[in-house]
Amino acid sequence: MRAKLLILLLALLAAPALLAQTGYPVWCEVHVDLGKDGRSSVEYTVKYQQSGGEFHGFFFHGPQIDSLHPVWDDAFGLATLSNGRTLKIKRSVRGGKKTIEFANGAGISTGWAIFKYRFATDFAANGHLADTTDADGNKLAVFHWAPSTWDHSLEHYTVYVRYPVQVSGDPRSEAFLESVHFRTEKWMNDAYRIDYLNDKGRFQVLLHDELVAKDHTMMIQQYVDASVFDGPFGAYDPSRLNEGGGYYPPGYDPDPPLDDSSARVLFLVVALLLFGLFASITYFKHRETRKARDSLDDVKWSAVEWIPPKIQLSTFRKPGKVCDTLTPVEVAFFLELPYKRILSVMLQRLDAAGFLKVVNADPLKVKVLPRTLNDIETLEEYEYEMVKAARDDGKFSEAELEYLLDLVVKNVQKKAWDCDIEATKKYWQEQIKPVWDKKAKEGFEDEDKDASKPYTRRNFGWYHWYYWNNGYRDYDRSFLPDRFERSIDVKVDHISYEDFLTDPGAIDVCHSACHSACHSACHSACHSACHSACHSACHSACHSGGSF
């Protein structure tokens, strides 16, 4: 009888912690776009299922994120709901932990949400892209990293790694793979299903794992010829592999700091520990059954034909549907041009049309010129907002430009939420092409020259078409789209992560500050609080997941 009462008490103690979960991750997909110099883009797509109460978001934090010193592309973030609606998302902090959550306090009480967000990082500077040599003396570059671990099991975890090398022929052929000296560790072949793809003309490796256990780390360690990158990079350090995935290097203490709510935190820790005693009974009872089941799954895996997974985001999108109502500025956003470049082109257009006059380029200073009401009415909404922003002091504040950019993003999302993205891009590129061809004959950069540049430095001929649509057609080759890009005073973290990929000095990385946030600052506060006993409870401080 006492034993039954104890079990009931332990379950009740653990209940608050269990009921706090309002959602759980279903699957995660990560796209890594490696740059030749190591500066890269990392894009997450995560599906969360609402499971009780109102779901607002989830925790996304820990050394596996902070060690990358991410430069966030906040304007890119978006959540797609099971009813087809989209919600803007934001990064925030709750209880000292970083979060990804719906903006404006939004939440859902039923269904699911697919979150998309991305950031830039320098894998070479962070030690995850390094130089090495194989047994035959070939110089190779090794990419060794792991994306976030999650505090809940997943249906699947998929990682796409795109390399800065053009595909020649079939990317799955032995001839191509040998031409780039592609290699993986044997344990990767054993652990994942692997495929080789041609993604927009570039070589991409797809890694896929199913029925992923809670807290599982999806390690990646693969090699290509060093000439694929613009090295040299640092020497390969095997210990760096663990830092990417939430496994802790020697001396690292993941215990979280105790704040004013320490009594509540310790209560939950103790409750979880006691509940663990109850859970262990079930664990030992079913361990043998689970082992047998896992072995059976392994047999089934080897017999199932490998089919590359597809992101389930497109369930509400209509194949072939084109969004043909975008304005010229909105088209630039849809083509993924860097925000600063779009603003630079807009500024030059307004200067040439006599709405503004650039008085000084650095620091940027403009003068608003007098125009009639009829003239003002010819401006696109975003151009008018740009003129209005400069009226008071001849400058563009960060807040003013953020408002303008947010306005564009919101309108594009509203118009294009169910369109076929690739079909829409193709449509607008076809509208741009005749104008671009005409300007190329005048000596401007043609399509081939533009296509040879890194993706984030491409212009896709958009600015020619933008000027053409506004009646401005007589300009020479000194008229460059990025002319004022460096003069626009907007923080990289708030505007475009692409700027980080193209400008080494775009952000000052404060390694010690980030590292101490998860290490030194909280070491003394938690180390004495029953270290080994509450390790599993504190471990979550450095794992992504957990909903609210």
Tens of pLDDT, residue by residue over 120-138, are 998 988 888 988 888 888 8
Domains and CATH numbers, the chain: 19-259+529-547 (2.60.40.1730), 339-495 (no CATH)
Q: CB under 8 Å to 296, separation ≥6 — which residues?
A: none
Least confident interval from 97-106, 314-323, 347-356, 381-390: 314-323
- Greatest mean pLDDT among 21-30, 231-240, 297-306, 508-517 lies in 21-30
Provide the pLDDT for residue 398. 80
Residue 298 has pLDDT above 80, yes or no: no
Percent of residues in the chain assigned helix, strand, coil, to nearest 5: 40, 25, 35
Q: Which residue has the higher pLDDT, 498 or 85?
A: 85
One-letter amino acid for residue 443 of the chain: G
- Greatest mean pLDDT among 87-91, 187-191, 258-262, 531-535 lies in 87-91
Provide the pLDDT for residue 544. 63
Provide the pLDDT for residue 500. 39
Provide the pLDDT for residue 96. 78
Q: CB under 8 Å to 363, separation ≥6 — which residues?
A: 395, 487, 489
Confidence class for position 46, pLDDT limits 50, 70, 90: very high
Provide the pLDDT for residue 455. 65
Residue 20 has pLDDT above 70, yes or no: no
Q: Where are the beta strands (DSSP E) in 169-266?
A: 183-184, 193-199, 202-212, 220-225
Provide the pLDDT for residue 247. 31
Q: Which residue has the higher pLDDT, 479 or 291?
A: 479
Q: Which residue has the higher pLDDT, 284 or 113?
A: 113
What is the longest distance spanned by two Cα atoms in the chain? 92
**Which phi and psi (to 5°) does residue 339 adopt?**
-60, -40
Least confident interval from 298-302, 319-323, 411-415, 421-425: 298-302
Provide the pLDDT for residue 35. 92
Query: What is the tens place of the pLDDT at every residue in 457-481?
Result: 788 889 889 888 877 766 666 677 8
Provide the pLDDT for residue 478. 64
Provide the pLDDT for residue 21. 63
Q: Which residue has the higher pLDDT, 440 or 268?
A: 440
Least confident interval from 86-90, 441-445, 532-536: 532-536
